[in-house]
Amino acid sequence: MAWAWLLVVVAGLLETGFAVCLKLSHGLTRLFPTLAFAAFALASFGLLTLALRKLDVGPAYAVWTGLGAAGTAVYGMVFLGDVVSTLKIISITLVIVGVVGLQLSGSGGH
């Protein structure tokens, strides 16, 4: 089952990639970011789908979206000039703590 959680983590990181590329595509009007968005999205959903064969959907989906959201927020602050604030950093930290807690909660899988 550890491999399934690894797939969820990689899928969450790929979710960050597709969210960032969606932003950079400017409404799907720029070719390379649009193609990268599609590739990241397909890979992310594909890995999540494989992981869900072994994991419960609730915790796995929450970890996937949490990692994607936290990763996207951090990327935006570091590389895209998004506003950095103490509250934003604390909130991202809480998302990550929640993701770890869900993973450790013992998703029994199938």
Instruction: Give the model's pLDDT for residue 109.
Output: 54
The pLDDT of residue 1: 80
pLDDT at residue 80, as a whole number: 96
Instruction: State the pLDDT at residue 107.
Output: 52
The H or E element spanning position 45 is: helix 31-51
CA 90 – CA 85 distance, rounded (Å): 9
pTM for the predicted model, two decimal places: 0.88
Nearest-5° Cα angle at 42, 38 to 47: 150
The whole-angstrom separation of Cα 3 and Cα 43 is 16
Kindly report, residue by residue over 35-65, the tens digit of the pLDDT: 999 999 999 999 999 999 999 999 999 999 9
Residues of the chain with pLDDT under 70: 106-110
What b/e sequence results for 85-96 when a residue is b if at least 16 CB atoms lie within 10 Å of its CB, and e otherwise? eeeeeeebeebb
Contact 93, 41 (CB under 8 A): no
pLDDT, position 101: 87
